[in-house]
């Protein structure tokens, strides 16, 4: 796999990856109907296109030339010193192979002025929590509305300062 900037031609494959990953991760937590509702909203082609065009942001894919195996999206604040990692997902069949780490490394490199990287992880997602901790992230808080205002999904807030890993 190699990591590159996503393009509009990748959006269908990214959506498919997100739908598969969300169902594999969250069906047991939220139920398949709620997961479908979320993915239809948050991961629609129109929503992904907006992320692709977002200023001060990076939208990446991990690609092996045949398929998209992972994706990440992050955006910096106006000063460029704080970055929110909004999405980092790897196909379930490819998890544990270093793809998530490659995507995260590229996010960090994409924002050279950033001193802090933040993200939200759903409390029940032990696998993701373990991954982010292994990447040097520490829990700094919690939110009751992960991903979107009024989502009602509680999550832990993690952050990592540049140079920590």
The pairing of strands 68-76 and 82-90 is: antiparallel
Mean pLDDT computed over 9-14: 97
Residue 148, pLDDT score = 58
The dihedral over CA atoms of 70, 134, 39, 69, expressed in degrees to the nearest 10, equals: 10
Predicted confidence (pLDDT) at residue 117 exceeds the cutoff of 80: yes
Fold of the 2-117 domain? Aminopeptidase (3.40.630)
**pLDDT band per the 50, 70, 90 thresholds, residue 104:** very high
Q: Per-domain residue ranges for the chain?
A: 2-117
Mean pLDDT computed over 72-88: 94
Other C-beta atoms closer than 10 Å to the C-beta of 64 total 11
Tokens of 102: 């490659």
**pLDDT band per the 50, 70, 90 thresholds, residue 135:** very high
* pTM reported for the whole predicted model: 0.91
């Amino acid at each position: 796999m190699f990591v590159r900037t996503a393009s509009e031609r990748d959006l269908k494959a990214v959506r498919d990856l997100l739908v598969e990953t969300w169902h594999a991760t969250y069906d047991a937590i939220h139920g398949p109907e709620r997961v479908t509702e979320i993915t239809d909203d948050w991961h629609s082609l129109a929503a992904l296109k907006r992320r692709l065009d977002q200023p001060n942001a990076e939208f990446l894919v991990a690609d092996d030339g045949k398929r998209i195996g992972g994706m990440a999206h992050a955006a910096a604040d106006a000063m460029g010193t704080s970055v929110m990692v909004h999405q980092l997902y790897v196909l379930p069949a490819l998890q544990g192979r270093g793809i998530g780490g490659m995507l995260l490394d590229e996010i960090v490199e994409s924002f050279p002025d950033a001193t802090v990287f933040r993200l939200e992880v759903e409390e029940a997602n032990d696998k993701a929590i373990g991954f982010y901790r292994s990447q040097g992230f520490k829990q700094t808080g919690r939110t009751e509305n992960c991903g979107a205002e009024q989502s009602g999904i509680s999550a832990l807030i993690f952050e990592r300062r540049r140079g920590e890993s």
